[in-house]
Chain A
Amino acid sequence: MNKAENNLLTNSEVVFIIFGSMVGVGILALPASAAATAHEDGWITAIIGSVYPLYLIGICAYFAKKFPNDNILVISQKCFGRILGTILNFILLTFFVFLCASIATNYTNIIRTFIQGFLPSYILIALIFFVCAYTSTKGLKTIGKVSVVIFFTTVIIYFSPIGALKSASLLNVRPVIKSNIKDIFQGSLKTMFSYSGIETIFFIYPCAKDKKKFIKSSLMGLFIAVIVYTWVIFISIYYLGADIAEKNYWPFLLVTESVTVSIVNNFRYIFMFLWTLTVFKIVSNNYFISKVIMQDLFKKVNFKVLCYGMVPIFIYGSLRLDGFVESGLIEEKLTNYYVIFILTFITILALITLIKEGWKR
């Protein structure tokens, strides 16, 4: 096996990169927004919301078949021409910057509330991005390995409140699908955004070792994410009830703290430590993708310089989003726009390639 092949991603790395790009900071707050719109049927929205990533994976399967060695940046320049393609790629870059920035601000908000009130947020944000910049200088293979390791070390936090199953009652999640269908649909639109990060697949499929199994692996990653999201929403509503879950900012955290683990005295710090790892992972995954786009825009710049050079942009973006009320308002709007942009962008791209192919024949 030569060195180039060694740098390709194995199947399990693909699974956990995809899982790791989606699931991170959102799990704590997701039950609140799901319960606020779909009430006791909130957990169903996580399943319905997976339509969005499924659609993207479907289109990715088509691209992977047509252009097995080109990522989306090359395809977009091929289809839209050099100038328009570059502009669209740049918008894609801003999306990833926004994603990283919003994750980092949410993270600092929670960590400052619960355990590190003494640290100003800009220090935390700067630390996160320097660590992520360092990780992304090591390349995609390292990101893959880190994703696998972090998944297995932190999987316990998703299922730590399993003891709550005993102490609460199933009455809280009943009646099933008796609330308004419109409510469930609206809730699904909200949970759909928590799957953003799935866009990573368009950048990593050329790097997979086993290209035939790439789609299967990414579906596997999505499947694990759907299970985790559904479980997190379900257990929060199950333990607290839909009326109370929506009143908390981070209901999942309340559930984990209420379930006493007999050996561990204060589970909060262990939870926060492990959860910090998942946040670092999700930020570094998305940071790496932004670096890939940046590299495409500035081909001549040394990639290490680029990695560290991007840090100030991210810090600036995060600090712009700082503040609980402001960030909530901006994030909601921007995520809506970006999801619409990505859906149309990818769809048009797929259509153009389809038409071009027909033209050739």
Chain B
Amino acid sequence: MNKKKYFIIIAVVIIYTIISLGTEKISLEDLGIITGIGYDMKKVSPTEKKYIFPFSVYDFETSGKRSSHISVGEGRNVGETIETRQKQMNKTILQGLERTFVIGEVFAENGLKPILDERARNYQTSDMAFGAICKGKSEEILGMNIEGYGSSSEFIAGLIERQQGYNFFSQNYKVIDMLVRIDAEGRNLVMPYIDVQEGKIEIVGLAIFKKDKMIATTDLYTAKILNLLREDNVKGVLSYQKKPKEYTDIYVTSKRKVKCEKKQDKYTFTIDLKLTGNIASNTLYKDILTNLKDKEEYEKLMSKKVQDNCNEFLNKMKNEYKTDCLELGREAAAKYGRRKGIDWNEIVCNSEIKVNVKVIVNEQGRGDFIK
């Protein structure tokens, strides 16, 4: 018995040494940890394009200081960018800890397919990094210095993640969401659109995609309505303002239900929005909580207003964007079958879309000061 024990111990030690032979250990100071990736494109000639991928890389110094720099990979294909990036690096690249990816406008307009394949194949990267489309070049935004942050990519990741709860933004702007939406039948991608305004990085709207190509960007107001119509279970503020000093704001949570009907070859979509919320501030109705009439009037007015805004957006979607940014085609495909070669963007834009909005005030806060 004892002999066997020693034999097993010796065998384990030998196996361990064989396995660990030839593996190299690298200290933290020699690692370049990628925190953010940018994707840009430049047209060299009408037919030839050049990829420019800036990487935001952390440097750890022996003194314990942490800083970051941008290293840029350039090339005619993704593989070339990897090699040119390393030309200026004295460290080993470590992937998998990146927090964000920023795609430049020009790149997005030309289609995301080149990076999608690389992303789906690369097993080292993180699928949970948040993404955004930026105005101009991504290199400039990634290279910005923001006080209190090691690199701007950390700030951008937080910026996108924390939009949830306001303007009806969801959190579906990660790599995995991008992979899941592009190429799926009846689905379309939208991404946050960021820009530098007065020296600060800001969310300025949404970028709308058709398949893998960006076709339009919106302002924040349109983005809010788009989000409301597109996402389920999201939060935001709605206001009704009569005069500059008379207004009522409510903070609502949305519930979205879509019905789809097909008569002959005509589709009809009905979006039911139920918005329940609490009063955030109120200077308009004196006794909105004691008088049922006032409350009902307010709910009706608010519903009407949101419904009008929605219809306005739907008109814009049908005539200007000509894309199904509300993923209504997905609902129809789920009901009437897939893989029939139907272009849902066209079908949705040419069919009737009804919106029913119901606003319900059910919470009031802790006091009422206007009385």
Contact = CB atoms under 8 A, between A and B. Distances in A.
Interface of A: 39-40, 113-114, 118-119, 123, 127, 171-172, 174-175, 178-179, 239-244, 247-248, 254, 257-258, 260
B338 A244 contact: no
Nearest to A173: B334
A248 B120 contact: yes
A176 B216 CA distance: 35
Give 4 closest A-B pairs by Cβ, nearest first: A174-B334, A171-B334, A241-B184, A243-B184
A118 B185 CA distance: 39
B128 A243 contact: no
20 contacts: A39-B338, A118-B23, A119-B19, A123-B18, A123-B19, A171-B334, A172-B334, A174-B334, A175-B334, A175-B335, A175-B338, A178-B337, A179-B338, A239-B180, A240-B180, A241-B180, A244-B179, A247-B183, A258-B127, A258-B128
Given A174-B334, A243-B184, A244-B183, A257 B127 contact: yes
B334 A244 contact: no
Interface residues of B, number: 24
Contacts of B331: 171
A244 B339 contact: no
Contacts of B183: 243-244, 247
B123 interface: yes
B19 A114 contact: no
B330 interface: yes
B15 A127 contact: yes
A257 B335 CA distance: 30
Contacts of A247: 120, 183
B339 A39 contact: yes
Contacts of A254: 127, 176
Contacts, number: 49
B369 interface: no
A258 B184 contact: no
A242 B184 CA distance: 8
Nearest to A171: B334
Contacts of B120: 247-248
Contact of B184 (A113, A244, A257): A244
B176 A243 contact: no
A241 B334 CA distance: 11
Nearest to B11: A130
A129 to B, nearest CB: 13
A258 B334 contact: no
Interface string B119-132: 01001000110000
Given A179-B337, A244-B183, A258 B176 contact: yes
A330 to B, nearest CB: 24
Interface in B333-369: 334-339
Contacts of A257: 127
Contacts of B339: 39, 179
